Chains A and B, each alone.
Chain A
Amino acid sequence: MNSAVILKQVPDTEALIKVKPDGTGIVKEGVKFVINPYDEFGVEEALKKKEAAGSGEVTIVSIGPDRSVESIRTALAMGADKGVLLKIGEDEYSDALATAKALAEELKGKDYKIIFCGKQAIDDDMAQIGPMVAELMGLPCVTVVTKVDVSGDKAVCSREIEGGKEIVEVALPAVISCQKGLNEPRYASLPGIMKAKKKPLDIKDTKLDAPKATIDKWENPPQRAAGRIIEGDDAAAKAAALVKALRQEAKVI
């Protein structure tokens, strides 16, 4: 079973993110980049499905600057078969639609039974790429998926919904966006790491369409104000002061 995984390289969840003083983006220097964790579920699921089917290829498709090659290689070391990087400049930005168009262009006309992607990227949290790619390719899309059973030309997926789960049957090919709980991604193995360098990785210079939505400014969330300890001679006085503060200052009672 051939499948593709849309993969984005994002700052490590543990990295300390600083906004540039002029608010045009984040400081990338010194930041470690990793595979978007939700995309990693996609890689694992694609590998599992290939293993269950006993044949097929897993192709990793990413858009990003040169450094994204490292993340594609990591996915290849996990067991994926080949990679494609749609290369853009380090600070080249467009919106989700332009990104999805470039991806759809790359993905179309291939024999992918499922296109996996993360439910969202943890850096800009837009959660738009999967559904947009599906729409542009005329494919069905199931989002926030925690289980996928493939049989023949359809798949039965579980999705997380408020207070329970929804079971969806979808005709293949389809786009499936992955949620935590779908699987536990494997670690790259050392033999896998050594094989990864020999697997095909196609780097294509890419020009994205101009964005229709632009980012005006980046800023940090406001600093949380310090807490206050209510002073008073005894418990009764402190309670009275607290009630007063809650009513008059916080206006919650």
Chain B
Amino acid sequence: MADKFISERNLKFLINEVFDAPSLLQFPRYSHHTPEVFDMVIDTAMKMGRDLLKPSFEEMDKNPPRFEAGAVKVHPSVKRLMKECGEGGWISAVASLEVGGQQLPFTVGLIPTFVFSAANYSASNYPGLNMGAAHLIESFGSQEQKDTYIPLLFSGAWQGTMALTEPQAGSSVGDITTTASPTDKDYYLIRGQKIFISAADHDCVDNVVNLMLARIEGAPPGLKGISLFIVPKKRFDNDGNLVPNDLAILGIYHKMGYRGCPITQLSLGDNGDCRGWLVGEPNRGLYYMLQMMNEARLVVGMNAAAIASAAYYACLQYTRERPQGRPITSKDPSAPQIPIIEHADIKRMLLFQRAVIEGSLGLLFQCTVYSDLMLAHEGDEREKYSLLLDLLTPVAKTYPAEMAIHSVSQALQCLGGYGYCDEFPIEQHYRDTRIHPIHEGTTGIQALTLLGRNVVMKNGKALTLFLDEVEGAIKKAGARPELAAHAAQLKKAVEKLKEVIGHLVGIATGGNIDLFLADATLFMEFFGVIAVAWQWLLQALAAQSALAKGASPSDEDFYTGKMYAFRYFFAYELPKTEGMAQRLLTIDDLTLSMKPDYFSD
């Protein structure tokens, strides 16, 4: 079992036994697929992850991209990866049939992303970025834009990017200043700077197409004046040749982790000739981008869970092989040492990792299922799934992003001093995963979105739908003797959640919005644990059903292990919400009243 990095068994458990992905095939949108297609997608993704991405995992970290003579050079394996992902149809997997995609359900189409990012997170990003860029053009671009760019992004010949951030505008995207001046042709002239743009230049593709936010001259200030443009690095001239588009790469940043993929700084229109093509309507750019960002946020959650998974399997193998110490009650110093996996504290750390990884994956697949059901329905049903997806997306990004850091940290801890050294892969996983609470909207931004917008939107309709879903699971679990106590425990936590929301909304209706949102991040943490507990209850229900039916010996180990990880979550993680609730129910403006001056030392 050398170098295992994900559990195929667990993936199949989640998509088949917990979420019944084959039932999606009843909808016309997905009826051209079969369950065998799903299995072969997983098989092929595993093979590509193992043979194509994993071999360069360490090398890409040790030899990061270089910036030479105004251009970025990356690891040569990226070229083959883009080609294989393009030719193999993996970039276009979830795209609609009309634009040349395979229209796979997101639930299955996202599995290669999970597998690839567990094998080599940096590498997985190159094709992943194309999926997002192409989808944005598919959703909002003109027919001509679709015909021009989508095939080149799907084939992997070109690189796609998302260009939002500017030196003075990160989380505060309303403050971007890159400008677009109309011309009498079909394009705008773009001028400004962008930073931290992943893969905006490299030598393994023929060209780069940036999906860029900019402000049309005279547009209203703030979020309402932002438009979306296609700004390629090289543009087609009248003869169909690629010529430079006055887009200069100023440099790349040297990062803590995720070092195999460059983040660049761009200067646009230094010579007044950087052309950008408007996507959709003027001033609708942020709305368009948020559609894409919501998908990208689920991808980030997947990436975080994937890195934690790779670290877990590296750690698991080590704990089985490393002899150290003797049973605590053993008095004989000459007795042979035992593998560390036999120590209770090591098992605690392993269970913690499983609780985080498998719980996160549950929540992520729950969101992809909502997304798939949303696209398969119309009317009220569509709205229902859309609201559930909207509500949970920031949670499904943030819980894995934040908790993967702790999970990988525990993996590293199991290896002791070796974990801290680069002879083992875990220190790299630890560095790689640290980006996730930062990019695609920081944890702080996600928390404001959850509490300030999603929980209260449409008079709390999304929240009500969510509570119905959770209470449905509680009811089912409550009917099974072996899960009844856990169901009751989650019910109590959900009551607390309602109480906390009532309390916070009360503060908001009282007019103190600053206080309402001051602990939004703590609220996110609180909400996240409860949402993941719900997912664990669903997994426990599926595991219990399988055990009740009678499982083969290896399956019995799997389901029993699953039940232990479930019990761990309810015993060690869910109770933490009690402390959080205590704080969230206290009216105290501690952070608001703390003045910058008091941080004098």
Contact = CB atoms under 8 A, between A and B. Distances in A.
A190 B89 CA distance: 5
Contacts of A191: 89, 102
B44 A193 contact: yes
Given A187-B48, A187-B84, A190-B104, A30 B40 contact: no
Contacts of B44: 77, 187-188, 190, 193
A197 to B, nearest CB: 6
A194 interface: yes
Interface string B1-45: 110100010000000000000000000000011101101110110
A229 interface: no
Contact of A194 (B1, B33, B52): B33
A134 B376 CA distance: 54
Interface string B516-557: 000000000000000000000000000000000000111100
B90 interface: yes
Contacts of B37: 193-194, 197
A92 interface: no
Interface residues of B, number: 30
A16 interface: yes
Contact of A73 (B36, B93, B552): B36
Contact of B40 (A16, A29, A32, A188): A188
B88 interface: yes
Interface in B365-398: none
A189 B112 CA distance: 12
Contacts of A29: 552-554
Interface string A64-107: 00000010011001000000000000000000000000000000
Most chain B CB atoms below 10 A, which of A30, A70, A193: A193
A32 B8 contact: yes
Contacts of A193: 37, 40-41, 44
Contacts of B52: 187
Given A14-B2, A194-B33, A30 B555 contact: yes
A74 B4 CA distance: 22
B77 to A, nearest CB: 14
Interface in A188-230: 188-194, 196-197
B47 interface: yes
B87 interface: yes
Contacts of A188: 40, 43-44, 88
Contacts of B8: 32
Contacts of A196: 40
A27 to B, nearest CB: 9
A67 B555 CA distance: 18
Nearest to B43: A74
B535 to A, nearest CB: 25
B93 A190 contact: yes
Contacts, number: 57
Contacts of B104: 190
Most chain A beta-carbon neighbours within 10 Å: one of B40, B52, B104: B40
Determine which residue in A74, A189, A196 has the highest number of CB atoms from chain B within 10 A of its CB, and name it: A189
A197 B33 CA distance: 9
A77 B87 contact: no
Contacts of A16: 1
A14 B40 CA distance: 18
Given A188-B43, A190-B90, 9 more contacts: A14-B4, A187-B84, A189-B88, A190-B41, A190-B44, A190-B88, A190-B102, A193-B40, A194-B33
Can you list the 4 inter-chain pairs with the closest CB atoms, starting with the nearest? A30-B554, A190-B89, A189-B88, A193-B40
A82 B47 CA distance: 23
B40 A74 contact: yes
25 contacts: A14-B2, A14-B4, A29-B554, A30-B553, A30-B555, A32-B8, A74-B40, A77-B44, A187-B47, A187-B48, A187-B88, A188-B44, A188-B88, A190-B44, A190-B88, A190-B89, A190-B92, A190-B93, A191-B102, A193-B41, A193-B44, A194-B37, A194-B102, A196-B40, A197-B37
Interface in B475-529: none
Given A32-B8, A194-B32, A77 B88 contact: no
A216 to B, nearest CB: 26
Contacts of A70: 36, 39
A190 B104 CA distance: 10
A73 B102 contact: no
Contacts of B33: 194
Contacts of B553: 29-30
Contact of B1 (A14, A189, A197): A14
Nearest to B44: A188
A73 B39 CA distance: 11
Interface in A1-59: 14, 16, 29-30, 32
B274 to A, nearest CB: 36
Contacts of B1: 14, 16
B114 to A, nearest CB: 16
A74 to B, nearest CB: 7
A190 B154 CA distance: 13
A86 B90 CA distance: 33
A189 B34 contact: no
